[in-house]
Amino acid sequence: MDATRMKRIAAGLVSLATFLVLWKLLTVATGTPSYILPAPEVVGERAARAIGSGILWEHLWATLSEVVLGFSLGAAAAVFVGVALGKSVVIERVLSPYIVAAQAVPVLALAPLLDIWFGGGLFARVLVVALIVFFPIAIATMVGIRSADPRLREMLRSLGASPAQVTTQLEIPSALPVIFGGLRVGVTLSVIGAVVAEWAGASVGLGVLINIADQGLFDTPLMFVALAALAVIGLAFYSLVVFVERQLVHPT
């Protein structure tokens, strides 16, 4: 392992250790009871029990499925629509008002309707995730497509390239850094979308676990475990997007 990589890992661990120490100091200094703010070791112990009993895996797996399916569906649709928006001013003028209006409606308000319309199954929740990730990726794709160098575009056309070739050989590759910016935002939103969808109607998932821990068991440490699990999912998928971006955009 090279020194740069080791330094990066050390920095991450120091950051985590500092966060945990500050958290612990806060609980000690304020004397806050554990049903309001549990200390890190209380949450750690609760996490071990939740993992041991299997309850965390059951809910984690459900949320993970919604995030993966919803993000894949939403991102694919967003890139497709974003390319269309970027290439055609007419399509942009026709679709943009609807896309912006859909984004302006809070997903929190839309989710219960989708739940009723689609029978409250996995598809309804995947749709909520897809909706929440769609906008940033579609807009990033549109902006990226339009940012392609017009001189290169003109050169390709003069060499006889078809519109599809211009898109695949020039516009999409040059848009990749911007598209990945949208994907980075979208992938973190997908975790929020999954929880919103679960709060609109689900029997399993980390959002459901938060509700059960909060209002059913009054188990604040378990709420923290569920929140930490959501944070880990978000971090893991964000890192995955960054990794793929490095491979595609800045291969070494």
Partner 1 sequence: MSSRANQSALLIAVAALAVIAIVLFRPPAGAPSGSASPTGGASATASSSTAASASAEELRPVRLLLGFQPDVQFAPFYLAQQAGYFRDAGLEVTIEYSDDVLRLVADGQAELGVADATDVMIGRTSGIPIKYVATLYEHFPVALIGSPDAVPDDPSGLAGMRIGTPGRFGSSWHALVALLDAGGLTPDDVTIREYPQFNQVEGLLNGDVDLITGFLANEPLRLQAQGFETELLTVDHFAPLPGPGLVAGDGLLASDPDLVNAVASAVVQAQEEIGRDPQRGVDAAVTEVPAIGEDRATATAVLEATIDAWDPPVSGGVVRDVWDAGYQTLRRLGFIDGSVPVEDMYDLRVMGIVDPL
| Residue ranges in contact with partner 1 by CB under 8 A | 1-3, 6-7, 9-10, 13-14, 16-17, 20-21, 23-24, 27, 31, 33-36, 38-45, 112, 115-116, 119-120, 198-203, 208, 211-212, 214-221
Q: How far is the CB of 111 from partner 1 (least distance, A)?
A: 8
Pick 165 or 239: Cβ nearer partner 1: 239
Pick 7 or 246: Cβ nearer partner 1: 7
SS3 66: helix
* Residue keyed to tokens 């020039």: 170
Q: Residue 49: is it exposed, middle or buried by C-beta count within 10 angstroms (0-12/13-18/19+)?
A: middle
Q: How far is the CB of 39 from partner 1 (least distance, A)?
A: 5
Pick 158 or 215: Cβ nearer partner 1: 215
Pick 28 or 244: Cβ nearer partner 1: 28
Q: How far is the CB of 163 from partner 1 (least distance, A)?
A: 46
SS3 94: helix
Count CA atoms within 13 Å of residue 52 on its CB side: 6
Pair of tokens at residue 47:
């996490």
Q: How far is the CB of 19 from partner 1 (least distance, A)?
A: 9
Pick 27 or 188: Cβ nearer partner 1: 27
Q: Do residues 220 and 34 touch, judged by C-beta distance below 8 A?
A: yes
Pair of tokens at residue 6:
């080791």
Q: How far is the CB of 34 from partner 1 (least distance, A)?
A: 4
| Closest to 210 in 3D by CA, of 186, 229, 235, 193 | 229
